[in-house]
Structure 1
Amino acid sequence: MRFQDNKNSAFKGWATERKELKNSGKIRPNGSKITFSPSDIVRFFESEFASYMDHFEKVASEEKKKELGVHRDPFDPLLDLIRNMGNQHEEDIIQKMEQSTAVFRIEKENRKEAIQQTLLALKEGENNIYQAAIKNDKIFGYADLLVKEKGHSELGDYYYVPYDFKIARHPKPTALIQLCCYCDILQSIQGVLPPYFVVVTKDRKSHFFKTVSFFYFYQLLKNNFLHYHSCFSKDRIPIPDKRAEHRDWSIFARKRQHILDDISLVAGLRSSHCAILRRAGINKISELPYLKKDHSTIKGIPKITLEVLKNQAKMQLASVGKDTPEFKVLSHSGERQGLEMLPPANPFDVFFDMEGYPLLGSEGLEYLYGNAINEDPKYICFWATKEEEEVLAFKKWLKWVYDRWQKTPGLHIYHYGHYEPSTIKKLMGKYGAGEEEIDTLLRNKVFVDLHRVITQGLRVGTFSYSLKEVEQLYYGKRDTCVKSGGQAAFYFFNFLNASNKKEGSAFLEQIKSYNRDDCFSTKKLCAFLWDLQKKEGIKYISSITKDQETEYRRSDIKESCQERAQVLLNLVPVQKRTWPLSQMKGEEHLYIAALLAHLLEFHIREDKPGWWDYFSRLDMNEEEMLEDKNTITLCRWVASQHIPIVGENSEFKGPSARRKTPKSYEKVIPEGYKIQFEKEQEVGFKEGDKLIVLENTDNIRDTYTVWRLHLIEGLIYLKPNGENKLPKNKPFTLVPEKNDFYKKNLFRSLLKTAYYFSPEAPYFGLKKCIYDLLLKKAPDLN
């Protein structure tokens, strides 16, 4: 049995983020003991505020609740749908189990009887117990399934292991906490801690986890939870945490934040920065714009970021009580940021929005591709109402938009946020379709993210920069039945379960109206921004230089790879190109030809995302770069010589060399650079990494090796790999070297092997060792 190692677990490092553990005591609000459930501990993990409100709702008087306006969120049909799907998922698995083995079901109508039934089943050694009711002195819960395993316990020569059924695609931390709680209760019943627990996901795959890898974190969390509720007071409602998942207390949490003028409501404020501001005594939005002199800089927040947050808070305060929020156009002095990233209007522009349904199949379904255009019919959409239709809808949309772009290369595809291009790339990889077309569109910056244009180009007095908030500047009130993506997903579920075609079509029409509104809102946002661009005299700046385009294409190498791959594929009949070796007896040369062709195509395809990331970083502003741990921005050259490297008494062997003898010395690398950067930045680099200067677009292959990194002082020492020089008179940005497959020995060997291949030659023209490797034969050592 294979267990997941705790080094790679979702819990790595989380224990350090929790509050200091305090001794828990008996929980006796109003003189009576409260029994909690595993879900209560999970709730506390997600949101201390929601956990408090659950307790408050149980013990507070109706007058107190009315006074504070306490109420849960209205019924959410999507959450109810997910809950029902989870129950059905459980029932389907249990019914399938019952076809091959006995499953003892616990009746849940009466809690005391359910506990007695479970204890009896445990003592009698039932192999599988469904909906087991288990408890200790503080916690009670229903475990989805307890499975009997051989071993020693107080029950006999066996013990039980908990299983939990989830409709998620991957196990989530909350599921692991819940299962640790079941293990904790089982330990009090059977005398031993289950050595592992199991999460069964939507695809019915069982994920095994070693209990001890998570149990100590769970104990810290549980004790913290018990202490928190033992100190419960009805008069101290906590401040809702911005990063927490408040679930059915979300509306009340937002209401409390507004009443308190809470600092977390500043748009764009990171959770870590929110915590830093609270520690500095800044808890309200109204306090942030007018910081005292001793708060002009705050440790842990870069100066640029702090200034942006202060200005954002000021704009939000100025917009209070107004129907239309205040806004301000930001100037970037000719740099490609904000409105400088907005291309000129084209009559054939496309305004794009997608809808997805995450609850169908193993990866969800992208079911609607909506497009607003200028000519009739004004709105065009492509549907996929079944899993098998997803690839067809994707291909239809891609062909339509790519043909449109080829006829009018000046058009752009406008969208709001990263969902659309990310999903298109995901579908490209999922189906292996449209690789060249998507690559061409991305490389030519046809996709334009208006969210980035807005956040860099405008400061708006809204509490977030979502499309629904920003459209207060230019769009009227919506009148569609569907108000959000969650509601759209619920309507799509209703379509899937409609009793007849007419009823199903009505649900699709409502979703279509919602998507059409999003597309038209994106279109009106563009018109609004173009007007501002014209009014402010801001001109569009293209992001791709001729040198970058030439470097990206590398046509001499890339095209030779594609040509050779096609030559090899032409040797193989279409139906045999994916056959395994076992089906190719007597035709091994066809298997090798297809394998070499697919390897070439794979590495050509895998080289593209690195370039997409590079071009995406060119569009980041300073604030976004400060938040990216793989980017060091605002770097300044300090010195070109005297970089001390401490090593042993021999020739220095590189950045990883360590002092091994007391007689060490300092080696000077005269051609190195000493660089200063904002020490508040989170840096993801390590010594030995190779970096490039993002602004050096004339030659993006000039690399520098990180020799020393001093995060506390904000210093980095670089050694150039060649004669390249760093800019001395202006700030610059360091990013990771692009992983260039064409420079690697692996590529050269692969391409050489592909050209040597000949079906008529001995070993097909290959070296004997390569021939054996490709045909999965044992190496000939003679």
Structure 2
Amino acid sequence: MHYPLLDGVPGPPTITAGDLRAGRRCEFDLLVEADVRLGRREAVPSTPDAVRDRFGAAGRKWEAQVTERLTHEHDDGVRDARGLDSEATLRLLTDPSVRLVHQAAVRADRFTGRADHLVRDDDGRWIVAETKLARSAHAHALTQVAAYAEALLEAEVDVAPFVRLHLGDGSVVDTALEDVAQDLAIVRSRVLEVLETHLREGVPVAWGDPRWRACLRCDACRAELAASGDVGLVAGVSSYRRRLLLQAGVPTASALAQRTDPVEGVEPEDLAVMSAQARLQLVEPTPQAPLAFEVHTPAVLPEPSPGDVFFDFEGDPMWRDDFDDDPGLEYLFGCLTTDEGERFTPFWAHDRAAERRALVDFVDWVAQRRRRWPGMHVYHYARYEQSALTRLASRHDVYRDEVAALIADEVLVDLYAVVRSSVRVGSPSYSIKRLEPLYMGADLRDPDGVTGGGESIVEYQRYREAVTRGDAAGAAERLTDLREYNEYDCLSTLRLRDWLLDHAA
């Protein structure tokens, strides 16, 4: 955003595609950034995030690849408008020899930006296109490219009646501009309204102001949540529910824990659940009880079988090779069994062909165990494993029916669903790593090792880099770390299953 100075006073803001995205995601963060630009406060320190950095690098690499491909397709009719302002870019578009413009500056009333690609079609119209690493056309991406198209229309450029996205899976998606126009108008109007209202008030944005949506996840929100003991720290309190609670005078987790009066817009049973969750989260941990919990409904679990499997995937969502436009690789199918003592069985896959073999081997291995132990189950935590197996069967066109049968026959058991339906714990997150103080005891994971899914993505990238430079020892060390991390997740799933049997029966 940019606030032009009018007689030394900030005037109406000019917004960007980034502001549209921020306004859709988190209005509080948008206003914090506005305050920084207006000199009203210091910037919020950014939390280091290696995964976010890697996604950013992958996105820039993908944009460069699309740019190179489009340039090759259009030969000498290509211009790079990087460094040109919007007026110079408009003059470029009037040149009939120009067929493709990269990084085109666009400007309209209260909006400015730079479109990735403008492509002239056979009818002389300009197709506005953006490159996105995502595999589907997200709402913000469509809003962004539509904003560029409308800015060019305002400048009387002959624009195609649709906008285009080059997605990370290699697909090209065209969407009618009229199908996006209403969403763009709503988002743009709201962002301008929020910024103009805030500018008129002349003071920094206040945390907890119910007028502004807060995502509860960005750096700005997390800093305020922690500092204030905010009600948004309570598991199950969404951004929408938080606004209702704020309007009812319930700003903190402590206030929610004590709340007995109704809250408009919140069902009484939902309020009771959130209040109980808040009370648990306020319990101070002790060595004897590191995490408070309560069983509210008996857990429904299958009878244990000697053939049971405790399963966890490791995947790299940004993996791709030169022969496959479909990104992402499930590089480790980790399985822990107990019929011969605790035994870890990994199915590794470092390329697409190996991924297919790993899927086939895993499904065959499970089928063999089912023949020996018909009552066995495959336990996992959250829905990712089921979704990934279904996606892999479709990707490789193999064992579709067998995977579907594992799901239909309820061989796969999601312990996350069991936890949420039976137990409340004193944690703002129900990730399996936050539950481990309940049941891992002295075996809690090493904080210096690979401890999260995001870290495993980065660690696998380091493995691939070591392979590329011929560092066999470094590559082996990375794989050992990843194996140990995955094996621990499988062990955690086993211990959680046993804990649920003991405590939530």
Band the TM-score falls in, shorter-chain normalisation: 0.7 to 0.9
Q: How many Å separate the matches in 2 of 1:304 and 1:84? A: 45
Point out the structure with max Rg over C-alpha. Answer: 1
Contact 2:311/2:335, CA 8 A, preserved across alignment = yes
Q: How many Å separate the matches in 1 of 2:215 and 2:54? A: 19
Which of 497, 517, 520 is 2:488 aligned to?
517
Provide closer, same or farther for how the CA distance between residues 90 and 452 of structure 1 changes in structure 2, counting only shifts above 3 A: closer
Q: How many Å separate the matches in 2 of 1:240 and 1:386? A: 50
2:382 matched residue in structure 1: 417
1:124 matched residue in structure 2: 95
Contact 1:73/1:250, CA 8 A, preserved across alignment = no
1:106 matched residue in structure 2: 80
Which of 466, 469, 480 is 1:499 aligned to?
469
How far the C-alpha of 1:418 sits from its partner, in A, is 1.5
Q: SS state of the match for residue 143, structure 1?
A: strand
1:87 matched residue in structure 2: 60
Q: How many Å separate the matches in 1 of 2:331 and 2:372? A: 27
Report 1 or 2 for greater relative contact order, CA contacts < 8 Å, sequence distance ≥ 6. Answer: 2
Does 2:137 match 1:165? no
Provide closer, same or farther for how the CA distance between residues 317 and 398 of structure 1 changes in structure 2, counting only shifts above 3 A: same
2:42 matched residue in structure 1: 65
Q: Deviations over 1:66-97 (max 9, x none)?
A: 9xxx31222x2322222222222222233233
Q: Deviations over 1:457-512 (max 9, x none)?
A: 22211112111211122232433532321222222233334322513333332222
Provide closer, same or farther for how the CA distance between residues 448 and 482 of structure 1 changes in structure 2, counting only shifts above 3 A: same
Between 1:463-472 and 1:357-366, the stretch displaced more is 357-366
2:350 matched residue in structure 1: 385
Does 2:360 match 1:406? no
Which of 173, 185, 206 is 1:207 aligned to?
173
Identity %: 25
Q: How many Å separate the matches in 2 of 1:144 and 1:366? A: 31
Does 2:413 match 1:463? no
How far the C-alpha of 1:420 sits from its partner, in A, is 1.3
Alignment of 1:600-749 (within 5 A): none
How far the C-alpha of 1:174 sits from its partner, in A, is 0.9
1:541 matched residue in structure 2: none
Does 2:317 match 1:358? yes
Which of 202, 216, 236 is 2:205 aligned to?
236
Does 2:183 match 1:217? yes
Residue identity matched to 2:156: Q
Q: How many Å separate the matches in 1 of 2:3 and 2:220? A: 29
Q: Deviations over 1:696-715 (max 9, x none)?
A: xxxxxxxxxxxxxxxxxxxx
1:48 matched residue in structure 2: 27
1:18 matched residue in structure 2: none
TM-score, structure 1 length as denominator? 0.57
Q: How many Å separate the matches in 1 of 2:168 and 2:386? A: 26
Does 2:122 match 1:144? no
What stretches of structure 1 of length at least 5 have no aligned partner?
A: 1-24, 152-157, 539-782
Contact 2:35/2:205, CA 8 A, preserved across alignment = no
Q: How many Å separate the matches in 2 of 1:240 and 1:474? A: 40
Residue identity matched to 1:355: E
Provide closer, same or farther for how the CA distance between residues 27 and 325 of structure 1 changes in structure 2, counting only shifts above 3 A: farther
Which of 39, 45, 51 is 1:78 aligned to?
51
Q: How many Å separate the matches in 1 of 2:407 and 2:205? A: 52
2:9 matched residue in structure 1: 31
Between 1:207-216 and 1:283-292, the stretch displaced more is 283-292
Q: How many Å separate the matches in 2 of 1:391 and 1:267? A: 38
Between 1:371-380 and 1:390-399, the stretch displaced more is 371-380
Q: Deviations over 1:163-193 (max 9, x none)?
A: 1111221111111111121123212323566
Residue identity matched to 2:9: G
How far the C-alpha of 1:116 sits from its partner, in A, is 5.5
Contact 2:235/2:429, CA 8 A, preserved across alignment = yes
Q: How many Å separate the matches in 1 of 2:159 and 2:290? A: 59
Contact 1:187/1:194, CA 8 A, preserved across alignment = no
Provide closer, same or farther for how the CA distance between residues 505 and 284 of structure 1 changes in structure 2, counting only shifts above 3 A: same
Q: Deviations over 1:293-348 (max 9, x none)?
A: 4x2xx554444333222221221222479881211223x4xxxx42xx23344444
Q: SS state of the match for residue 491, structure 1?
A: helix
Residue identity matched to 1:466: S
Residue identity matched to 1:482: V
1:528 matched residue in structure 2: 499
Contact 2:282/2:426, CA 8 A, preserved across alignment = yes
2:145 matched residue in structure 1: 179
Provide closer, same or farther for how the CA distance between residues 376 and 201 of structure 1 changes in structure 2, counting only shifts above 3 A: same
Between 1:411-420 and 1:473-482, the stretch displaced more is 473-482
Q: How many Å separate the matches in 1 of 2:411 and 2:167? A: 38
What stretches of structure 2 of length at least 5 have no aligned partner?
A: none
Provide closer, same or farther for how the CA distance between residues 27 and 321 of structure 1 changes in structure 2, counting only shifts above 3 A: farther
How far the C-alpha of 1:107 sits from its partner, in A, is 5.5
